[in-house]
Structure 1
Amino acid sequence: MATATGVFFLSITAVPVCYSMNLLTSMNDHRLVFGGACLILAAIIFLSYLIISLTTSKRSRKPNDLFFYVFSLFAFTSVVDLVIGLELDGIINNFVAFYLKEGELYLNTAYGTMINYWDGTAHYCMYLMMVTAIVWNQGYREIGLYWVGSVMNSIVVFLPGNIAGKFGADLKASYLLNMPYIIFPLLGAYRFLQSRKPVNIPKEQLKLRQNKSIFQRPFDLVMVIYLVLSCAFSLLRMLAAMDSPIPFAQTYVKFYEPYLLDPVIYPKLQMLVYWFYFTPYRLCAIYGLLYPGCEWMSDWALIHAGAAIQGQFSHIGSSLHSRTPYILRVPINTRPTFWVINLALLVFPQLLAWRCLTKPAFFVKQSNKPKTN
């Protein structure tokens, strides 16, 4: 436990580090900012190794999981992101002003603020949980899959939006600091998906569960209805974000979510992700709920839940944030409808993941191999 505690204290050193770097007058060149950030990140990895060496006795086993160092580093950067979010909202001052000016200018947006809050809170808790699991030599596959979905949704929207949006002409070297958030989640996804363990459920119980039709499983029926409606709604919001001349798309973007037309382009990209990535998954999930034996359902439900909660948190917050132009915020008279729609798109994926994890019998593939003496 001392090792995990050491990682926690290492992560909160991000606060004095940010403040100290902000005091340096030399941090007025984007190349120096990028170089300084790289040196600090390398130092965090080295200090993580020292924590292991100092807190692990000869009798105990040292963590040999590469992701221990990855999560230790990301925990530090999560605290940095929380500091950035607080400074963007004016809660604190002069901690990361240099970085917002010479590092990543596109963070000075409502979307940039919200993803920093999410990384500094939700992702930070995930990193500490996974570091603790590694130290205790326990599995963290489920939380890892959830984290993969959350990070990948953020990156798929954030990185292209930085280039294609109105800040595309102001890219600096610090943009490259986001590359680890592509590499390691992909490595984690491959590792977690390949390490699925078989679920041992008696054959009689499997038959009992899998012989029920969808109408005999009311919760699954509700999930199927939600998935069908969410596919249709994703099409509507995608058309609205693309400023389609179709009347119902124009009505929706004008009265319910004008933020979809924000020139920062993040909301447009999020709607495209919902349509081109979430919709195929939802169609597959409908199949998995109708026909038994789809063993992939639990894993991808976790990934989808992580992606959905990150996407909806950032989208809801950005739609209402003060950094979004007033004319593009959600109109007051339609906010109840806005909340119902967007909270449903946030909550139902969590319920689906919970259902798949707690009652997996319907998704277990029955073996047709005859027993041998």
Structure 2
Amino acid sequence: MANFTGVAVSILISLTAFPLVELVTTDSSLSAPLPLMLIGFGLLLLIALTLKFVLPQKCVEEQGKDAVEQRGFVYYTCCLFMWACTSDLCLQIRNHELFGFRKNTKYFEHGEAYLVTPLGIFAQFWNGIINYILYVIIIYQIDNKKDSRYSCLYWSGGILTSQFVVLVGAFTGSYSNKLEYSVWLNAVFVFLPLWILQHCWVKPRPVAKNFTRENSSFPVLDLFLCTGLVLASVFGLIRGLGALGSQTPLIKYYVEAYEPYMLESSKYGAVWPMYVAIYGIPFQLCAIYGLLHPGCQWMLNCSVVYAAGMLQVNVWFLITKLAC
């Protein structure tokens, strides 16, 4: 029988974010910049300890311990981040006066002002809805002894990409002179996903069959994919140079004619193409190698992490630019 205990408890605890966020952001003394950061870290610690108490680790046999994730660091991180997702959702619901809530923007005024940009708004809604669902899936998989490796890799690839885009834009763009202490809360949402990414990446897996070019079924498809990856790398390089402000006529024309948002002072339009150039091009070249040399076990891990980041932020930019 399926075990929904962890999911149910995590959902109930995550709902406490609504009254807590309401209390902190309504009181003027609590919502001042420094208290806001200290309360944020304090609440994260309190919720983490509560989760550890109400969802204790289970004694497990050593056999198969490496193959299936048990309640531990990954599990409690997902439970804690569910509470953070609800906090993000609460902040944007109050910001947009949804469901009858009265408007409250104190967190953005005294905390992370860059989250009122179209990208920041969409990032918080994505975290509050899509990432929340991913946490539910991972918690369910762990409680029911299912392999959560690729769910964790997909989630960590997505959240690390979003953190890079949002934070680099915040520190380099027009909002860099409005940063308050609360920006340091993001350290939790960078270092914990990084640890989980590393943990799932090196986690032992069943021995895979060794493939060779002779038993590859789709050499034509491989060639097609390699060509597409080369073209994507060239295109990514052009966009990356454009984001850096290259005055090369071709690149300058492309930016002004097709992606003028790269020139925005908030820098969010420029950070994403730079990320694709820095992270995407090396992966695409490694993927070409993997296609030419079948059997690379790291290829699947890379593909999952890459797909998560590319899908997430491309959807962000598509929706935010269409909405604007």
- State the TM-score, normalized to the length of structure 1: 0.76
Name the CA distance, whole Å, in 2 between partners of 1:320 and 1:57.
Answer: 48
| Residue 20 (structure 1) shift | 2.9
Choose which of 200, 221, 224 in structure 2 pairs with 1:222: 224
Q: For 1:310 and 1:292, how far apart are their aligned partners in 2? A: 28
Structure 1, 170-179 or 78-87: larger mean CA deviation:
78-87
Candidates 72, 75, 85, aligned match of 1:78 = 85
Within a 5 Å distance, the mapping from 1:326-341 to structure 2 comes to none
Q: Is 1:66 matched up with 2:73?
A: yes
Choose which of 15, 33, 37 in structure 1 pairs with 2:36.
33
- 2:248 counterpart (236, 242, 246): 246
For residues 4-28 of structure 1, give each alpha carbon's deviation from its aligned partner in whole angstroms, at most 9, with x where no partner exists: 2110121122223222333323234
Match of 1:183 among 163, 166, 191: 191
Give 1:91's aligned residue: 98
Q: 2:119 aligns with which of 111, 114, 118?
A: 111
Amino acid at match of 1:119: N
Q: Distance in 1 between matches of 2:163 and 2:246?
A: 26
User: Deviation string for 1:117-164 (max 9, x for gaps)?
Assistant: 221122111111111122223321011111121111112222222211
**Residue 50 of structure 2 corresponds to residue 43 of structure 1:** no
8 Å CA contact 1:19, 1:95 repeated in 2? no
Please state how far the C-alpha of 1:57 moved relative to its aligned partner. 9.5
Amino acid at match of 1:305: A
Question: Which range moves more in the overlay, 298-307 or 183-192?
Answer: 183-192
Q: Deviations over 1:321-350 (max 9, x none)?
A: 44xxxxxxxxxxxxxxxxxxxxxxxxxxxx
1:267 alignment partner, one of 240, 261, 269: 269
**How do 1:12-27 residues align onto structure 2 when only pairs under 5 Å count?**
12-27=15-30
The equivalent position to 2:297 in structure 1, one of 295, 307, 330, is 295
1:65–1:134 Cα contact (<8 Å) kept: no
Deviations 1:211-254 (A, max 9, x none): 1579x434333322221121111122123223322333233222
* Secondary structure of 2:98's aligned partner: coil
Per the TM alignment, residue 89 of structure 1 is displaced from its structure 2 partner at its CA by: 4.5
Q: Could you tell me which amino acid in structure 2 is paired with residue 250 of structure 1? A: K
Aligned residues: 312
**90 and 250 in structure 1: CA distance in 2 versus 1, 3 angstrom threshold:** farther
Q: 2 CA distance for matches of 1:294 and 1:269?
A: 31
Letter in 2 for 1:320: L
Do the aligned partners of residues 177 and 96 (structure 1) sit closer, same or farther apart at CA in structure 2, a change above 3 Å counting?
farther
Moved more, 174-183 or 216-225: 216-225
Contact 1:145–1:299 (CA under 8 A) maintained in structure 2: yes
Q: CA deviation at 1:195?
A: 1.0
Q: Distance in 2 between matches of 1:95 and 1:108?
A: 13
Instruction: State the identity %.
Output: 26
Q: Give the AA of the match of 1:32.
A: P
Flag structure 2 segments of 5+ consecutive residues without an equivalent.
61-69
In the alignment, residue 5 of structure 1 is paired with which amino acid? A
Q: Tell me which residue corresponds to 2:63.
A: none
**Structure 1 match to 2:64:** none
| Structure 1 residue runs without a partner (length 5+) | 323-373
8 Å contact from structure 1 (residues 110, 318) kept in 2: yes
Conserved 8 A contact 1:22-1:94:
no
For residues 6-17 of structure 1, the aligned pairs below 5 Å read 6-17=9-20
Give the TM-score of the pair, scaled to structure 2. 0.87
Instruction: Decide whether aligned partners of structure 1 residues 194 and 264 sit closer, same or farther in structure 2, where only a CA change above 3 A counts.
Output: same
Q: Quote the offset at 1:87 in angstroms.
A: 4.1
The 1-side partners of 2:83 and 2:103 are apart by 15
- RMSD of aligned residue pairs (Cα, Å): 2.5
Equivalent residue number for residue 3 of structure 1: 6
Larger radius of gyration: 1
1:29 CA drift (Å): 1.2
